[in-house]
Structure 1
Amino acid sequence: MTPVCPFVKAARPDDGSSRKPASEPACPVVNSNNKQQQQQQQKVEAKCPFGYDSQTFKLGPLSCMICQALLFQCSKCVPCSHSFCKACVSRFKDCPLCGADIEKIEDNENLQSLVDRFIEGHARIKRPHMDGGGENEEETEKVETQNDKRVIYEDVSLERGAFLVQQAMRAFRAQNIESAKSRLSVCAEDIRDQLGKMGNTSELCSQLGAVLGMLGDCCRATGDAGAAVAYFEESVEFLSKLPKDDLEITHTLSVSLNKIGDLKYYDGDLEAARSFYFRSLNVRRDAIKHDSNASQILDVAVSLAKVADVDRNIRNEDVAVGGFQEAIKLLESLTLKPEEAGLEPRLLSVREFLKSQITEKQADDLTV
């Protein structure tokens, strides 16, 4: 599973269109070379003193060189004192950095405290605050004089969210699951806080649904199917209340439904699995009624295949074959545009699977 960062808006494997990065709150700065000049607003970008950046996510000195994410449960090797995440370094007998024999591993509480403070303060920046509301020149001058001494701290939580999700993805890929869960939990808290301030915007709702889904993936990776289902169901419950005309929301909702279906399927509860697969299929069918692209049509075909596969397993063969055939017909009518060429491997894979299911049925009929 490769989680998709819902903040950076990078193109998904099933989406050929590029996504715009999450917007940064603008910082109003007054250009007052001449009082007669109109005041202008400029954006001031926050700079991290450790070199971390919300777009490039450079590896900084507070990162573990093994998982390349922020240190989590920071531990140092004795006697060389090099520090790594506990889960990462526990796999080694020699220090991955210097090669020294590891006699024991100790908690590095001081460095971990620094990392925790860094996360808490990331994107909290000091910036000038400007009202600029004077009705006349004298009043404006008075406001400017006062504001020269006033500063506020802004918590740019979307920027911090992008940073935390990226760190979680790095940790997840390196199998440092607890680190990923910790970063995603903080990110979810940030988004909930923003929802309380800004209301249920589509962007924030989609982001929370995606983060909850990634938390579910973390639990699934550790074999905790119950917790995984709980996270996925929370994502579904939350996203189901939102308008279905937003592509991000419908995609996240359908994926969460499918993941619950997968867990039910492998747990042997086929009826429940079919129910969740079918709900995902309906969400995707409704989405292409309003506006469809190759990625969405592929999603519908995948959902048809999942439902049909369950039908075959519960011995509802005729319905299963009908579902496979419907998916094949849907894909045969699909022509990829040049900008959608990246979807071709997935298209071929799904089409091959569907045709193999029909061939299997035909072979069974000949045997009988």
Structure 2
Amino acid sequence: MKSNRTSGCGGVCPAKFDKNISGVCPVTGKNHGAESQGSTGNAEGKSSSDPRLVPAKCPFGYDSGTFKLGSLSCMICQALLHECSRCMPCSHKFCKACVSRFKDCPLCGADIEGIEPDSELQALVDSFIDGHARIKRSHGSGETEVLGGKNKVIYEDVSMERGAFLVQQAMRAFRGQNIGSAKSRLSMSAEDIREELKSSEDNLELRSQLGAVLGMFGDCCRSLGDSPAAITYYEESAEFLSKLPTKDLELVHTLSVSLNKIGDLRYYGGDLKSARSYYARSLDVRRNAVKEHPALASQVIDLATSLAKVADVDRNLGNESTAVEGFKEAIECLEKLKLGTEQASLEQRRLSVLDFLHNQLEDR
């Protein structure tokens, strides 16, 4: 049965409200907006009072903590260069996918007469990843050096964990619409995590990281219009995340969003019954989250959004009375929610979802 998204949604899809507005990466636990502050792996949480600790330095002068990557990054997508290419005749360098969208050089404005691969610079980028993004070493495994024949100096590994570093680069590339670069970095990260899981199958942190990375893979495939591949990655992501403890709200949110994304793709593909099953699973996850954390406004808004999704499908399946009950329950959740002025972004989202819900009832 084909769905009618226009008539069923009143011209507005509830999926637009189902966004992760926390800005916190499910892999690193860091705020997306705080990239410039950096994450320094083993250096975090260590006392700077120990005179033996000497920060590691990059021979090229680049800083992996604050991501000042210099000539190793693409000025278009802001991520590490991927398939580095040189514009001719000006010789400025960018990711191949990024610069291919331009007729003039984005840096100097010169006409682009051709694009040539720069394998030498790309090899340097790859070496940078290997050198600055290694899996975090234990404190005792650092290199040592004797100073003055007496003191041992422990060189800290100040780079991020390889997986977190690559995921952050993937997110940058994705935002810059360089999907090939994003997929390449995510693939490397997933490969590392899977390798670690072979010897640590019960490691919950690794499993949650892999679930998040697979979800990002799904986003890449979805942006390329490859719905079947996107669904496969979202399903695998949900499988990993659903087996983890539900106390971590970020994991709960990531799981519910992955389930909803599968539901969205099934919906737009016309498989309403399958879409409803995934929306319902996400709704169950969010109901449990609200029970555990009833005072968190974001959880209540997420719950109302899931109620709207399920009700929308019910209406398209001809279950009008069930749909109305769902819309009314969602409205009740949001009308009870009172937000302060310091929560302006959440209030805007609450009002948008509430307006959508009222329109659904008025249309009938």
TM-score by length of 1: 0.79
Match of 2:11 in 1: none
Match of 2:331 in 1: 328
Match of 2:8 in 1: none
The superposition leaves residues 62-100 of structure 1 with CA deviations (integer Å, 9 ceiling, x where unpaired) of: 111121211111111222222111111112222222233
Match of 1:108 in 2: 118
Q: What is the distance in 1 between the residues matched to 2:100 and 2:324?
A: 50
- 2:282 corresponds to 1:280: yes
Going from structure 1 to structure 2, the CA distance change for 1:211 and 1:242 (only over 3 Å counts) comes to same
Match of 2:93 in 1: 83
Letter aligned with residue 220 of structure 2: C
Q: What is the distance in 1 between the residues matched to 2:302 and 2:194?
A: 29
Q: Per-residue deviation at 1:239?
A: 1.1
Going from structure 1 to structure 2, the CA distance change for 1:207 and 1:22 (only over 3 Å counts) comes to farther
The superposition leaves residues 92-135 of structure 1 with CA deviations (integer Å, 9 ceiling, x where unpaired) of: 2222222332222111111111111211222449999759xxxx
Structure 1 segment 87-102 matched on structure 2, within 5 A: 87-102=97-112
Q: 1:354 aligns with which of 337, 352, 357?
A: 357
Q: Per-residue deviation at 1:302?
A: 0.4
State the SS of the aligned residue for 2:116. Answer: strand
Contact between 1:168 and 1:184, CA under 8 Å: does it hold in 2? yes
Match of 2:42 in 1: 25
Match of 2:246 in 1: 244
Match of 2:68 in 1: 58
Q: Per-residue deviation at 1:248?
A: 2.0
Structure 1 segment 303-322 matched on structure 2, within 5 A: 303-322=306-325
Q: Per-residue deviation at 1:188?
A: 2.1
Contact between 2:52 and 2:151, CA under 8 Å: does it hold in 1? no
Q: Per-residue deviation at 1:357?
A: 0.5
Structure 2: any 5+ residue segments left out of the alignment?
A: 1-18, 142-148
TM-score by length of 2: 0.80
Structure with higher Rg: it is 1
Q: What is the distance in 2 between the residues matched to 1:12 and 1:66?
A: 19
Of structures 1 and 2, the one with the larger relative CO (CA 8 A, separation 6+) is 2
Q: Per-residue deviation at 1:152?
A: 8.9
Q: What is the distance in 2 between the residues matched to 1:319 and 1:265?
A: 18
Q: Per-residue deviation at 1:339?
A: 4.9
Q: Per-residue deviation at 1:273?
A: 0.3
Q: Per-residue deviation at 1:5?
A: 2.9
Q: What is the distance in 1 between the residues matched to 2:360 and 2:302?
A: 18
Provide the aligned C-alpha RMSD in A: 3.7
Structure 1 segment 1-368 matched on structure 2, within 5 A: 5-11=25-31, 24-25=41-42, 45-50=55-60, 53=63, 56-124=66-134, 148=152, 159-196=161-198, 200-292=202-294, 293-337=296-340, 339-361=342-364
State the SS of the aligned residue for 1:61. Answer: helix
Structure 1: any 5+ residue segments left out of the alignment?
A: 14-19, 32-38, 132-144, 362-368
Q: What is the distance in 2 between the residues matched to 1:167 and 1:234?
A: 22
